[in-house]
Amino acid sequence: MCALLSVVVLAALVAAAAQAQVRPVRPGDESLLKRAPTYEEQVAAQVAARLTHLHPQVRCAPLGIPGLPSSVLGVTLFLGTHPAGYFLMVPQMCADLAAFHRSPASFDPRACTDGTCLTTDAAVAMALATVSHESYHLLGYTNEAQVECYGMQSIWFVASKLGASLDEAQAIAKFYATQIYPLRQTQTPAYWTPECRDGGKYDLRPQSDSWPS
């Protein structure tokens, strides 16, 4: 029952969410980038900066792209084949990151035993994954399956920079890898590859047996 519920809750969440895309840069974003970043945007940008060794800007705002499914959570803008140095996330992502930053231990999947916390833990894991996913786009990667796999291996980093203990950060990454990532094979197949595993083609730490952190 519990396992079934988990799959249903998570499948709904992944079906409804968790895509991130690459889009051509838009002149309309200029005013968005000019306004001072909120605290949450600064936090996300700092984490993305540490992950990429770049100086990206992050803004949370409605993505405002006609025809874009409401399921898309983040967009990294490109100038031709080069990342333009910023990404956008839907406002809910900033809210989830802020909640996590305020109280990381409240979103520890190891402490979750019912459907309610499963939903909030999964939403937070998705927000952390969105920051790391978009960060790999900032580095110039555009293959979604590759970006998603690299991003998953950096969820622990994002979580720990936002205040989680190393143990919890790794547990969140494991939760994502075991509960959320497998659903992508059917829900968002462009974001899934069998090579995303310990020892697979996209394993960033092939000499290490731990996965995905």
Contacts to Zn ion from residues 118-157, by CB under 5 A: 144, 147
If the CB atoms of residues 164 and 173 are measured against Zn ion, the closer one turns out to be 173
Contact 51, 150 (CB under 8 A): no
User: How far apart are the C-alpha atoms of 86 and 103, rounded to whole Å?
Assistant: 27
Beta-carbon contacts of 185 under 8 Å, excluding residues fewer than 6 positions away, are 192
- Distances, alpha carbon 182 to alpha carbons 7, 14, 33, 120, 176, in Å: 10, 10, 35, 19, 9
The smaller minimum CB distance to Zn ion, of residues 20 and 125, is found at 20
CB of 170: closest distance to Zn ion in angstroms?
A: 23
Judged by DSSP in three states, 52 sits in: helix
CA distance between the termini of the chain: 30
- Looking up tokens 């989680």 gives 164
Smaller CB separation from Zn ion, 152 or 171? 152
Shortest reach from residue 138's CB to Zn ion, in Å:
11
Smallest gap from Cβ 187 to Zn ion, in A, equals 15
- Asked if 20 touches Zn ion (CB under 5 A), the answer is yes
Q: Is 51 helix (H, G, I), strand (E, B) or coil?
A: helix
Taking CB under 5 A as the rule, does residue 158 contact Zn ion?
A: no
Residues in binding contact with Zn ion, number by CB under 5 A: 3
Nearest to 91 by CA among 122, 65, 68, 60: 60
Of 20-28, 52-60, 85-93, 153-161: span binding Zn ion (CB under 5 A): 20-28
Q: Is 60 in the site for Zn ion (CB under 5 A)?
A: no
Which of 20/162 has CB closer to Zn ion? 20
Task: State which residue, 105 or 190, has the beta carbon closest to Zn ion.
Answer: 190
Nearer to Zn ion, 19 or 179 (CB): 19
CB 58, min distance to Zn ion, A = 15
DSSP-derived 3-state class of residue 74: strand
Element spanning 122, H or E: helix 115-138
**In the bound complex, what is the minimum distance in angstroms from residue 86's beta carbon to Zn ion?**
14
Considering the rule CB under 5 A, would residue 73 count as an interface residue with Zn ion?
A: no
Closest residue to Zn ion: CB criterion? 20
Residue numbers of the site for Zn ion (CB under 5 A)? 20, 144, 147
